[in-house]
Structure 1
Amino acid sequence: MMQPILSVRDLKVHFPVHGGLFLKQTGAVRAVDGVSFDIAPGETLGLVGESGCGKSTLGKAIVRLENSTQGSIAFEGRDITRASTGAMRPLRRDLQMVFQDPVESLNSRHSVFEILEEPLIIHGAGNAAWRRQRVAELLDRVRLPKTAAEKYPFEFSGGQRQRIGIARAIALEPKLIVCDEPVSALDVSVQSQVLNLLLELQQEMKLSYLFIAHDLAVVKHISDRVAVMYLGKIVELADAEKIYRDPRHAYTKALLSAIPEPDPLAVKKRILLEGDVPSPINPPAGSAFGHRIKHPRYEETIGKELPLVEIEPGHWVAADPCCLTDADWQAVSGRVMAAV
């Protein structure tokens, strides 16, 4: 079997909460709370979930913009979980990120040329003449005119700014790019253009993507596999086609029911979720989603691990009686007992 380019195991990212007179730690925000997955070379893994579920924190932890509390991150077989800034610097060539808001991620005081040249200078790539030629190539690759090099980020539209962000991410010919909601702030017509650009670059450069989004329709367009995240945990993971055709977890079904139907005459049953998303500071003792929907079997899950189980080849789902059909729960619970 081919070695994954990225392997994440039981990753946790907790942020301390301080309070009281002496600002002692009184708790922790469990933004990411035990996540495991692999990404193969050339693959796109879509990561979806509601706002606040921990998607962006997970992406930042992978590229080491956030420190993990527990677990491991391996890039091309090398453990980078605790790698120092110096140890990470040469790996930045191969591990890049495209941010959600290009206005915030692009330095407004730098011209586009300076923005795109900066990573080349940091990594000692070529001389001044070569770097100028490289910037021109990058702009052409993301379909921006060469004259864009002398302009500043505020002179561009949102879609054009995101293209600049993508150009910066591919400047050093990386192998893996974490895309943190790269099209969520763009108009629908521009979204499709940026998604198609990412797909073309993936094919040309043999890139792997972790594509983070809350819009399942967008994720379907670009992903090979999809992981569904809820309150810091992955609750379902499968091939994209399988997730959309045959979701097993109740939360996945609810998310899919919210995708707009393009046919105005089609009748689609919407699953409306009741209750509020639990707090990551004080999560439920049992099934987080079961607690939210007040499922009658919630009490059974208190204090128990709800691990991902392979319900069928390549299709993983949380072993949670609150979120599965009776038939699926029987199949999953049997596999959990067999593993024990």
Structure 2
Amino acid sequence: MDTHFRDLTERVHKDIVDSYDEELELELDDRELDADTLLPQHGRSAEEKEARRLYFRELFRMQAELVKLQDWVVHTGHKVVILFEGRDAAGKGGVIKRIVQRLNPRVCRVAALPAPNDRERTQWYFQRYVGHLPAAGEIVLFDRSWYNRAGIERVMGFCTNDEYEEFFQSVPEFERMLARSGIQLIKYWFSISDEEQNARFLSRIHDPLKQWKLSPMDLESRRRWEEYTKAKEIMLERTHIEEAKWWVVQGVDKKKARLNCIRHLLQQMPYAEIERPLIQLPEREYHDDYVRRPVPREIVVPEFY
């Protein structure tokens, strides 16, 4: 068997196994738990196990900081928009999932808009995004954003040359307007290599729980790698402004990318821990005339497990 093919096959298998046991991470609510004892470690070297322990330790620590940031945003009425852009399978969804995991969805929400419908195509280009912008004390994470026009729409021919150029004329003004209105805008581009995207696509193809992530558009984007590269370079050059800078996250190592992005995000705001009032659980009241009625058996979910 060709060495390159064998290495790639092993890599894809390892990636699938790693993604399965890492899903347990989302269920670990007690930061005192030892992730090393809960997550399968078969086939991992001592170096890999230590890296994994460090990953969980840092992730839990920074998620605690994100909760403090959330409290500060609510307390101060700050408004934050965070854009996540990058190639398909670059890791945007993974970091978004870890950011919002322990936050209040009423404070921090994700906007992942589908392709525009016929009506939206006739609107002002930014119109459908405006409705998702934050009010005071809110954080909005855009899983892809108005920069679709500079990327997929440009490469796939979904916009005209005039619409493309108008976008670059409008977007700096639009983002400066957001800044003047008090919205802090943070823009991340997740960068991965040609080889890494190829491996992640293969993992999705061979993982029945992730095949839904691969659309015909994703597959076509793989073929047009170089065109996406050119579009990305033009986008970064023409839309990197002082009021809304681009930040590039090196995403080949997914776990390191998550930690680096969250750490950087925490550094973008001068948050401080907000003192919470002491919470006391009230005594439960008892009344002599209270009788709890039995639940009809026909509406009870069978206890199969």
TM-score bucket (shorter structure): 0.3 to 0.5
Higher strand share: 1
Q: TM-score, normalised by structure 1?
A: 0.31
Q: TM-score, normalised by structure 2?
A: 0.33
